[in-house]
Amino acid sequence: MKEILLTNRHSVPQDACALDRAACGIIAWLDGEHGEEAVLRRAIGAALGRCAEAGKNIAFDVREFGELGYNFSYLESVLTDVACEEGRTSADMIHRAVFYNVMVDMDKAEAFEMKVSRPYKEEANLSFIARGDMLSAKLKSYLSAHEPIPFGTYLMSLSEKKGIQTRSQICMVSGISRYTMSKVVNGISRPSKDSLAALAIGLKLTLQEAEELCNQVGYHLGDMDLVDRAVRFFIGEKIYDIDMVNYCLYSLGIEPLGEKPRDIAIDRYVDIE
């Protein structure tokens, strides 16, 4: 066998016979411990003999084999090994092995053919599995590079920028209990949307900072939710007194923010007879 040809053509070349994996009983690759290679070697050996008798080249559907777990590198290696077995003369009668249905972008070129000499180049391995392995590696790197910092770390860093150094101070200005604050900072529980709203007010965040705070735990400070709109209003008016905010919310029949006793804000501004 003198050469290997890769092509993105979807059909078997006229001068070749495709290795019919179904007819040959080739099974999907599991772990290499279920006789996959033995079956593949027998199928390739028999196919080489048939191709030699017919005077045709041997062809492999890269996409089909890729979906079964066999990439181009492995197929080429097994093919070469089988073809070089002692006493195999039929392989010498075959001019080339054609790997068709190769998935390749190449600027979406309509025609693509590549002759591969041994040792073949790794970049020629463009099968389904090879592309999947490459994308998986890139995905792993991307996820690692974009891993968010723990919310507790983010919150304490943000509060320090606002001149608030301790958890107790955060609790005081936001109305959130120390118990809840401890669980949130230590990553034991996820803060509720109302707790985030209270933190946005207590820490005197800008609108952009409040949105980023919500985004850290998968929330969105939008316009659909009543409390979201109220928080946007108070930030716009630069009203950061949590008790004043809760008084206004209470007067409109909206649940107060934070976890202070619900009557504190009311007692502060209303004379009780």
What is the model's pLDDT at position 130? 61
Range 112-118 average pLDDT: 49
CA atoms of 137 and 127, how far apart (whole Å): 16
pLDDT digit string, tens, across residues 25-82: 888 888 788 888 899 988 888 888 888 888 888 888 888 888 888 877 788 888 878 8
Residue with tokens 């803060």: 191
Look at 205 and 112; give whichever has higher pLDDT: 205
Better-predicted residue by pLDDT, 177 or 94? 177
CA 77 to CA 72: how far, in whole Å?
Answer: 8
42 Cβ neighbours under 8 A, 6+ residues apart: 24
Average pLDDT over residues 105-121: 46
The type of residue at 114 is M
pLDDT for the residue numbered 57: 84
Find the helix or strand (DSSP H, E) in which 7 lies: strand 3-7
Express as a percent the part of the chain with pLDDT over 90: 31
Closest CA to 267 of 239, 247, 248: 247
Kindly compute the dihedral angle of the four CA atoms of residues 256, 257, 262, 263, in this order, to the nearest 10 degrees: -80
Phi, psi of 60 (to 5 degrees): -125, 135
* Least confident span in 134-138, 148-152, 166-170, 258-262: 258-262
Rounded distance, CA 203 to CA 114, Å?
62
The H-or-E segment that residue 266 falls in is helix 264-269
pLDDT (tens digit, 9 = 90+) per residue, 229-267? Answer: 999 999 999 999 999 999 999 899 988 898 764 444 445
End-to-end CA separation in angstroms for the chain:
103
User: What pLDDT is attached to residue 273?
Assistant: 41
Per-residue confidence at 195, pLDDT binned at 50, 70, 90? Answer: very high
pLDDT(86) > 50: no
Q: Look at residue 60 in the predicted model and tell me its pLDDT.
A: 86
Whole-angstrom distance, CA of residue 95 vs CA of residue 183:
70
For β-strands 57-61 and 3-7, DSSP reports them as unpaired
Residue 187: pLDDT above 60?
yes
Which range (4-18, 81-95, 173-187, 226-240) has the least confidence?
Answer: 81-95
Does the pLDDT at position 214 exceed 50?
yes
